[in-house]
Amino acid sequence: MAKVVDRWHLARPPAGAEPCGEHQAAGQLLVPSAEHGMGKRWQVRYRTPTGKQEKENFEKQANAKKRANQVAHALDTGTFVERATQREDFRSVAERWRESSIHRERTDSNVERALRLHVYPILGKMPIGSIKRSDIRAWVKNRSQVLEPISLRTPYNALAGIMADAAIDGIITANPCRGIDLPEIRHDEIVPLEPLVVQALIEAAGGCYRAPIHLDASTGLRGGEVFGLEDHHVNLDTMTVTIDQQLVGPDKGVPYLGLPKTDKSYRTQPLPPSTVAAIKVHRELRPPREVWIEDRTDPRKPVWRYAKLLFLSEAGAPVRRGSWAKLWARIVKRADRLLEEWGSPLRVPPGTTLHDLRHFYASVLIRNGATVKKVQRLLGHAKPSITLDYYVHLWEDDEDNTADLMEGILAPVPSKCPIGP
């Protein structure tokens, strides 16, 4: 229950009291109180669900009555939120959400970075109860100027998750992210590398990096999966490689062994003979050695242990993202020189990364008749829809032989209908 009180006049004036000389009310005797003329005249009084007495003052009676009706409705429907809670800044609420949320470790790092760089600078200091749908739409428009639609999803999903939990916990009355439209994700059509370009990259790598690049091109593993392989993950007798962990390079700190990207990323891949030969040579020239590294493949029990990583840097340490980027740039330059020496007009396309070898592998599978499900399984995609998002145009590029297929089936069927009159 919420009621409106006139602070400037007594609710129960004593008999014979002198009426107010400034204010009048039809059918009511107004007697000045000790607070007459001090502060705002109209006050809304109510008790919160915890029993705490609250008071809010207003200049106009109409505004006080409106607020009283709002409070009464919120108390009756169980949607009441205390003012102090609504005034808490967004960042404080968001940090509690982030610290209590259960994410994969790499996801947690991505969420922290997305909030710090893209959400807190705009919404962080605002009282969470004051953030409206219009503020969320403005934020989406602002971030769309600097982030691709697919990259916008990480900070937005974190923002929407925070607001959803705040609504459930009664910190806000409604989730302002509900019904917000995001820019449509448009995947640029992937143009696979030419086989000769891939061969040049393998040749240009040389040394301790030739085998991992060869392996990547022939299996489609993610970069972290390649450099997270231990010696026992590769079985040259069965010509297979098993993926059950990856090397994670965090924004801060040293690389560690972590879980594969998704549950579907646990898989065993076949190895072609040339890749087996490349790994044999690599093992002979650079025998796997044990390195001391943190293993977080069990997030509940991270441990430091010795791991016999198959592919290490030239310094004999786990490969770091920063140093790999510089090394890859040198490999690309050498590959371009090789292509020129071979008399080819081809060059490594600008912006090519190790991940493009994964796309190359997928394109080879598709050109040789692999189904969506098979490509998904071999790449370790979480869902077939992800595979289609990236590669559907490669299936569509296949020559349409539907008519020939149907002709082969139906042409031998003899006609049962008489021909002619």
**How high is the pLDDT of residue 158?**
94
Rounded Cα distance, 361 and 368, in Å: 11
Mean pLDDT of 179-188: 86
Whether the predicted pLDDT of 404 surpasses 80: no
Q: Where are the alpha helices (DSSP H) in 229-313?
A: 273-285
Question: Does the structural domain 195-396 have CATH classification 1.10.490.10?
Answer: no
3-class secondary-structure state, position 147: coil
Rounded Cα distance, 353 and 128, in Å: 41
Helix pair angle (195-205, 210-219), 10° resolution: 150
**How high is the pLDDT of residue 204?**
95
Torsional class of 313: left (φ above 0), alpha (ψ -120 to 50), beta (otherwise):
beta
pLDDT digits (tens, 9 = 90+) for 335-361: 999 999 999 999 999 999 999 999 999
pLDDT band at 80 (very low <50, low <70, confident <90, very high): low
**How high is the pLDDT of residue 414?**
57
**How high is the pLDDT of residue 360?**
94
All structural domains of the chain with their residue ranges? 2-80, 90-168, 195-396
Whether the predicted pLDDT of 188 surpasses 80: no
pLDDT digits (tens, 9 = 90+) for 48-62: 777 788 888 999 989
Q: Does residue 278 contact residue 306 with C-beta atoms inside 8 Å?
A: no
Q: Does residue 376 contact residue 264 with C-beta atoms inside 8 Å?
A: yes
Mean pLDDT of 368-382: 92
pLDDT digits (tens, 9 = 90+) for 210-246: 999 999 999 999 999 999 999 999 999 999 999 999 9
Q: Count CA atoms within 13 Å of residue 226 on its CB side.
A: 29
- Return the higher-pLDDT residue of 421 and 84: 84
**How high is the pLDDT of residue 249?**
87
pLDDT band at 14 (very low <50, low <70, confident <90, very high): confident
Whether 90-168 and 195-396 share one fold: the answer is no
pLDDT digits (tens, 9 = 90+) for 242-297: 999 999 988 778 999 999 988 999 999 999 999 999 999 999 999 988 999 999 99
Whether the predicted pLDDT of 310 surpasses 60: yes
Whether the predicted pLDDT of 413 surpasses 90: no
CATH T-level fold of 90-168 = DNA polymerase; domain 1 (1.10.150)
Mean pLDDT of 146-156: 92
Residue type, 198: V
